[in-house]
Structure 1
């Protein structure tokens, strides 16, 4: 990951929270040719010591490169948007603000029991946000038994972790406020970026 010094976000608490807030990741395998899959990836442990877990379909071509100790790269993407220099007090160059976390990790294939436990946690994590949740154990058992042989679960043990948040650090307060005001009029992603800009730069 390219990390200009003023945008580096390698703090463990930032990384851990970022993964929880942006669990839909891109997983890239170091195969020939390179191959990637977009999947929900969850984290367990603490900010100082954690592992990731997920699963993919067995007919996914990336499964061929997933074996014990294989290296993968996970890319977690936060909110991002174009920021126009027309919003600034003086003429300048437009830019793109964003945040992301990259994690290089080693794979460990899950047992069938570990896979079931992971799926139960995965469903619970997102169903807890629903008005009438349908948890893993509420799904018909036969349906689960038919589905489990079609997927492979895995742990991912991090060995290299990098974070970045390019959020208008070092810009004037006037230009940051103006950027926030314009972003708040945009899409849902723009509005989330506006929130990130305020938090990073200490704005109310």
Structure 2
């Protein structure tokens, strides 16, 4: 990602929140110099004090990525994002249109889980996401075993990360308020969730002096 100190953050807590709120991840590797990308849900390892992700991939993705050969992967996470028109700023502030977003690049070497660990992670993933529905259906380990055989479980300890929270922090307070209002107004660029993210970043002082 293009570096901008105003939008950069080293707050691991914000990364953890991004994983919880936007768990659909892109896993990128380059075994033998050839780029491979896959898309899977991730969750935080609840038993780790350090930042680590749990996930699984469907076979044969593990072969394409060559997991188990001790090479690093890049995990890309993205929060709410949307177009920001310069017409929403105080007149004369900036002529440039832009895009507000939250994104994180996480780096680590995946650990391939044994079959019993993979089944445990699979049931934990289902339980994690089912906990948010009205009538959750838990995955019984016996019923889940055939499903687990078609997957490869991964634990990815995160060695380092880059986090960017770009929420109009470089704009004056009036322009910031107007952008939030426009994102909540009817029209093609309405994005209530992005407006809420902007308010949260403003209230938490993310990226502001």
Calculate the TM-score normalised by the size of structure 2.
0.87
Gaps spanning 5+ residues in structure 1: where? none
CA distance in structure 1 between the aligned counterparts of 2:189 and 2:19, rounded to whole angstroms: 19
Contact 2:77-2:105 within 8 A present in 1 as well: yes
* 1:127 to 2:122 alignment: no
Gaps spanning 5+ residues in structure 2: where? 205-209
The aligned runs of 1:69-148 (5 Å cut-off) are: 69-91=70-92, 92-137=95-140, 141=142, 143-148=143-148
Secondary structure of the 1:121 match is: helix
1:146 deviation in Å? 2.6
Q: 1:47 to 1:202 in 2, by over 3 A?
A: farther
Alignment-derived partner of residue 59 in structure 1: 60
Secondary structure of the 1:80 match is: strand
CA distance in structure 2 between the aligned counterparts of 1:180 and 1:124, rounded to whole angstroms: 35
1:165 deviation in Å? 0.3
Residue by residue over 1:102-157, the C-alpha shift from the partner in whole angstroms, topping out at 9 and shown as x without a partner, is 100111100111111101110111101111110011x8x3x533322211111111
CA distance in structure 1 between the aligned counterparts of 2:173 and 2:23, rounded to whole angstroms: 31
CA distance in structure 2 between the aligned counterparts of 1:155 and 1:134, rounded to whole angstroms: 24
Secondary structure of the 2:158 match is: strand
Q: 1:133 to 1:50 in 2, by over 3 A?
A: same
1:2 deviation in Å? 2.3
Alignment-derived partner of residue 196 in structure 1: 197
Alignment-derived partner of residue 176 in structure 1: 176
Does 165-174 or 9-18 show the bigger shift?
Answer: 9-18
Alignment-derived partner of residue 159 in structure 1: 159
Question: CA RMSD, aligned part only?
Answer: 2.3
Give the number of aligned pairs: 200
Secondary structure of the 2:87 match is: helix
